[in-house]
Amino acid sequence: DTAVSQTPKYLVTQMGNDKSIKCEQNLGHDTMYWYKQDSKKFLKIMFSYNNKELIINETVPNRFSPKSPDKAHLNLHINSLELGDSAVYFCASSQGRGPYGYTFGSGTRLTVV
Amino acid sequence: AQTVTQSQPEMSVQEAETVTLSCTYDTSESDYYLFWYKQPPSRQMILVIRQEAYKQQNATENRFSVNFQKAAKSFSLKISDSQLGDAAMYFCAYRSFNTDKLIFGTGTRLQVFP
């Protein structure tokens, strides 16, 4: 059973479209995250949710909107996609504060054309 | 704000040899956690090893070990008996005691030659 699963794995879309990426974890973790990995492989946090509550909201365009219907799910909706949004988006979960690493999903490669 | 620096964009090692990847970080905190993650071509992020700052003993996981120097704010990863499957991007990461945020370095690409 996949611990953190995100869909789709690949997404190719045109500029201006709206798209969503879904994430689910079956680890019972309270905290979930979205990270963006750019073309230079740099990983940067976008959002963090703890038990459906938004905890971290980094400087991200408001075209990006996370939604957490329950603590096992965290989706990412992106409006009016731009070329610069092309990246790999990772969902992750964690037991919370402490010496816990994150468990990552396999990533979604988003390509905006 | 905390920062993590990996000064080696690329490293290479011969199979069965040992390689050390460097990581330094900047923080004013005394309690925190440090991690090394591996990202093979499959893109999956895999936790390799972790270290709690209050522990003086260096963490070890099979062929992977760290050299944690708290005063120098250094956290290097040593891979012994390197294998072809160790070829990947390696990321050093910092996590504050008080927050959920994991801050990553820019990564080191490790090549392993037979």
| pLDDT (average), residues B64-71 | 97
Between chains, do A42 and B107 touch, taking CB under 8 Å as contact? yes
- Across chain B, the runs of DSSP E, i.e. the strands, are 3-5, 10-14, 19-21, 24-26, 32-39, 46-52, 60-61, 64-69, 74-79, 88-96, 102-104, 108-113
Set of chain B residues whose Cβ sits within 8 Å of the Cβ of A101: 35, 37, 47, 50, 93, 102
Q: What pLDDT does A107 receive?
A: 96
DSSP string, chain A: --SEEEE-SEEEE-TT--EEEEEEE-S--SEEEEEEE-TT--EEEEEEEETTEEEEE-S--TTEEEEEEETTEEEEEE-S--GGG-EEEEEEEESSSSS---EE---EEEEE-
In this predicted model, what pLDDT tens digit does every residue of B14-45 receive, in sequence order?
Answer: 999 999 999 999 999 999 999 999 999 999 99
Phi/psi of residue B97, each to 5°? -65, -30
- Best interface-test mutation with A: which of B6, B31, B33, B100 has the largest number of A CBs within 10 A? B100
Set of chain B residues whose Cβ sits within 8 Å of the Cβ of A71: none
Nearest Cβ partner of A101 from B47, B89, B98?
B47
Q: What pLDDT does B75 receive?
A: 98
Quick check: B59 and B67 in contact, CB under 8 A?
no
With b meaning 16 or more CB within 10 Å and e meaning fewer, what string describes B31-70?
A: ebbbbbbbbeeebebebbbbbebeeeeebeeeebbbbbee
| B89 touches A at CB < 8 Å | yes
**Quick one: what percent of chain B has pLDDT higher than 90?**
91
Residue with tokens 């099979």, as numbered in its chain:
B62
| Residues A64, A89, B35, A33, Cα dihedral to 10° | 40
Using pLDDT thresholds of 50, 70 and 90, give the confidence band for residue A100: confident
In this predicted model, what pLDDT tens digit does every residue of A43-93 receive, in sequence order?
Answer: 999 999 988 889 888 888 999 999 999 999 999 999 999 999 999 999 999
